Structure formats: structure tokens, C-alpha cells
Structure 1
């Protein structure tokens, strides 16, 4: 059987690097879009590196020719370089969808966020959900993958733990199961051959915020000191940050503060443990 030809956008990000490795190891004929070829450390016979600016439609013309499947892990956590969530999470991906349609691509796989449809009032999710709507109406076969958070997103717990205390809003009993990039990459690559249109996914361990805080403190060999702040403080801070800062500043804070007040459990998948990730990060910091 002829190898499927895959184009991956967002290949140099946290998740994109794992997807690239998985595609190559599984034998897919893989092309990746990057802004700067020098940032790619991986070399392989079935890997082609293409320089393009995904926010500039002109640089994407013809990029999907001879491609069967497009995967996009394109998105920004923080707005920078004058680019907004609408510029990147929506418009850049919409540009890629348009080019995929012109070239007769069979399927488009997009990595979004869990509960995004319920969080359209947040700047990050507004752009991602608008893109999801655009993809669904594009006529392309598609799959939207919705992880509930990466291990790397749990860094705020470690930052607080290093100081000896972790601050949580409410009673800390809300649960989530973030996922490691390597585990999520397997789901993304697996979606190439599946017919499922939307996949909610999380890591193997469902943990309360209290339990995550405890893991972070133990990683630093600190006594378990968790300070529970009244949830009205979170709500007040959310209103304040929206009122006194611009969207460039409040976008990621708004998202973090909102999901900290929600249950973010997703179907369990993978083998990587958050405890091990925290220990690895602390060992790196102390090395």
C-alpha cells in the first residue's frame, strides 16, 4: 500500500515535535511547515522541511499539493509579535484549510481544546472554536482533537511549589487529567485512519487540584502546604484583569483562571505520569 503523505503545521511547538517524531517513526511520508529550518533538529529520509509563514497566505500557495492529510497543531498561548489569537489560531489555520481544499487533501486534523465550545467567551477559545466551525463547513473530512491540557501547562504548580506553598481557589477538589505530548501525539497520528470527528482526551491519571499541588511540592521535597483561597477572589481577579489589561496580557490569564474553576476530566489515555514529569523538571532545574 502506498504511504500516505502528511503535512504538519506547528511542528516546532511542544506537541508538534512529538507528532513529527511519531509520524516519521510510523513510516509516513512527512512534510512539516516551519518558519525557520535551522530550528528543526530531526533528520530522516521520509521527512521534508518546508519554510513558510502560515499567517501569510501567499507563502502557503501550493504547499498542500501531493498531500493526503493535513495536521495542524498551530496555536499560540500568548499573543506576541503583534499577532492575535484570531490572526494565528483562526486565520492562519483557515488559510491552511483553504489551501488544503484547493489541492484535494483528503482529511484535516486540528488540535483544539477540551470544553472549547463552552468557553467561547474566552479570547483563546473564541478563535479556536471559530476555526472548528470553519473546518466543519469546509467540506473536508476532518477530526478535531480536544486535549484538556498538557503536562507543560502544569508549570504554574511547580513555580509555586518551589517557593514552598501552592495557592488554589476553592477547595481544590476539581479534577483534571492532563496529558503528555508523546501520548497525545499517538492519538493525533491514530486519527489519520479513524473516522471519529471529535476526540476528547486526557492523560491516564485523574487528579484533583489538591493532588497535583501535592505532587509538585513533593517533587521539590517540600512539606505539603496548600493554601485555599475563596473562589470569589478568582472571580474578582478575572473581572479585574479583563478591565485593566489588554487582551495580549489577559488572554492566557483569563483561560487559566477560568479552567481552574471547572472540572476538566477527559477520557483517560496514555502511560506517562504527571508525578514523573514533575520530578524530571525539578531535576533539570537543580542540575
Structure 2
């Protein structure tokens, strides 16, 4: 049985790198679209690299020829190069979907965000949800994967822990199960053959914010000092960043601070634990200084 030919967009990002490795490991003929070929250090017989900007539809012409499945992890955490969430998370992915339709692609897999439908009022989620609507209306078979926060997002806790104190809003008992890119890549590649249309997924450990704060402080060998701030501070801070900073700054902050007041537990998957990740991250930071 021949394997589906896959086009992966976003292969040089945090998650994209893991998806690319997983596809190659499982023997899928894989074509990746990147802005800069030099950023790809991997070579494999089943890997083809194409340079193009997904934000420019004219550069994508014919990119989906002979492709069965398109996977996109394209999105921006922090707005840069003058591009907005609508330019990248929505429009660039819409450009890919349009090309997929023209070339008769069977399925599009898109990585969105957990509880995104409830968070449409946030800049990051507004663009991702609009794209989800566009994909559902495209007539293509699809799967929208909604992961919990990534391990890489949890470094916000480490940044605070370094100074010896972690600040949390509320009592810190709300739970989340962040997921490592390596585990999430398995879910994404599995979904090539699965029938789910929407999939919520988190990591194997369901942790309270207090527990994550403790792990972060322990990684720095600090005493456990967690300061619980009344939720009023969070609401005021949200108002302030929306009023006095640009989208570029407030997008990621707005998302982080909003989800800090929500239960973000998702179906558990994978093997990667947060504690070793934190410990390794601290070692890396010390070595880089």
C-alpha cells in the first residue's frame, strides 16, 4: 500500500519540526514549504523542500500537485515583520486551502487551539477560528486539532521562578495539561488516517497552576514562593495591555492571561513530562550564559 503524499507547511516552527520528523520516521513522502531552505537541517530520501512564502498566493501555485494530505502548523505567536494574525493564521492558511482544492487534495489537517471557539474575542483565536470556519466550508475532508498549551509556552512560569517568586491570579487550583511538540506530532500524523473532524488534546499530566509553579521553582532550586493575586489584577492588566499596547505585544499576553482564568484540561495523550523539560530548560539557559 502506498503512503499518502503529505505537504507540510510551518516545518521550521517549534511544532512543525516535530511533525516533519514524525512524517519522515513513518515513511510518508513529505514535501515541506519553508521561507528559507537553510533553516532545515534534516535530509531524508522521502523529504522534498520547497521555498515559498505562504502569505503570497502567487508563490504557492501548483504546490499541492500530486499531494494527498496538507498539514499546516502555520501561525504566529508574536507578530513580527509587520504581519498580523489575520495575515498569517487566517490568510496564509486560506491560501493553502485554496491551492489544495485546485489540486484535488483529499484532506487538510490544521492545528488550532484548545477552546478556541470560546476565545474568538482574542486576537490570536479570532484568526484561527475564522480559518476553521473557512476549512469546514471548503468541501474538503479535514481535521482541526486543538492542542492545549505547549511546553514551550510554560517557560513563562520559569521566567518568573528565576527571580524566586511565581505570581498567579486566583487560587492557582485551575488545571491544565500542556503537551510537548513531540507528543502532539504523533497525534497530528495519526490523524492522516483517522476520521475525527475535531480533536482536543493535551499532555499526559493534568497539573494545577500551583503545581506547575512549584516545578518551575524547583527547577531553579528556589524555595516555594507563590503569590496569589486577586483576579481583579488580571482583569485590570488585560484592560491596560489592550488599551496601551499594540496587537503585536498584547496578542500572546492577552491569550496567556485569559486562559490563566480557565480550566484548560483536555483528553490526555503522550509520554513527555513537564518536570524534565523544565530542568533541561534551566540547564540550557545556564549553559548559554
User: 1:98 — aligned with what?
Assistant: 98
1:42-121 paired onto structure 2 within 5 Å: 42-121=42-121
Query: Secondary structure of the residue that 1:158 maps to in structure 2?
Result: helix
- Per-residue Cα deviation, 1:111-161 (whole angstroms, up to 9, x for no partner): 000000000000000000000000000000000000011000001100111
Deviation at 1:4, TM superposition (A): 1.1
* Alpha-carbon distance between aligned partners in 2 of 1:101 and 1:122, rounded to the nearest angstrom: 29
User: 2:212 — aligned with what?
Assistant: 212
1:1-287 paired onto structure 2 within 5 Å: 1-287=1-287
* Alpha-carbon distance between aligned partners in 1 of 2:89 and 2:284, rounded to the nearest angstrom: 31
Q: Which moved more, 1:237-246 or 1:123-132?
A: 237-246
* Alpha-carbon distance between aligned partners in 1 of 2:238 and 2:267, rounded to the nearest angstrom: 28
* Alpha-carbon distance between aligned partners in 2 of 1:17 and 1:41, rounded to the nearest angstrom: 10
* Alpha-carbon distance between aligned partners in 2 of 1:65 and 1:219, rounded to the nearest angstrom: 48
- Per-residue Cα deviation, 1:184-224 (whole angstroms, up to 9, x for no partner): 00000000000000000000000000000000000111110
* Alpha-carbon distance between aligned partners in 2 of 1:49 and 1:85, rounded to the nearest angstrom: 25
TM-score by length of 2: 0.99
* Alpha-carbon distance between aligned partners in 1 of 2:162 and 2:248, rounded to the nearest angstrom: 27
Question: Superposition RMSD on alpha carbons, in Å?
Answer: 0.5
Query: Secondary structure of the residue that 1:3 maps to in structure 2?
Result: coil
* Alpha-carbon distance between aligned partners in 2 of 1:197 and 1:98, rounded to the nearest angstrom: 19
Deviation at 1:243, TM superposition (A): 1.1
- Per-residue Cα deviation, 1:77-105 (whole angstroms, up to 9, x for no partner): 11110100000000000000000000000
TM-score by length of 1: 0.99
* Alpha-carbon distance between aligned partners in 2 of 1:210 and 1:101, rounded to the nearest angstrom: 46
Q: Which runs of 5+ in 1 are unaligned?
A: none
Runs of 4+ in 1 over 4 A off after TM superposition: none
* Alpha-carbon distance between aligned partners in 1 of 2:205 and 2:60, rounded to the nearest angstrom: 40
Deviation at 1:284, TM superposition (A): 1.2
Q: Which moved more, 1:244-253 or 1:79-88?
A: 244-253
* Alpha-carbon distance between aligned partners in 1 of 2:147 and 2:112, rounded to the nearest angstrom: 7
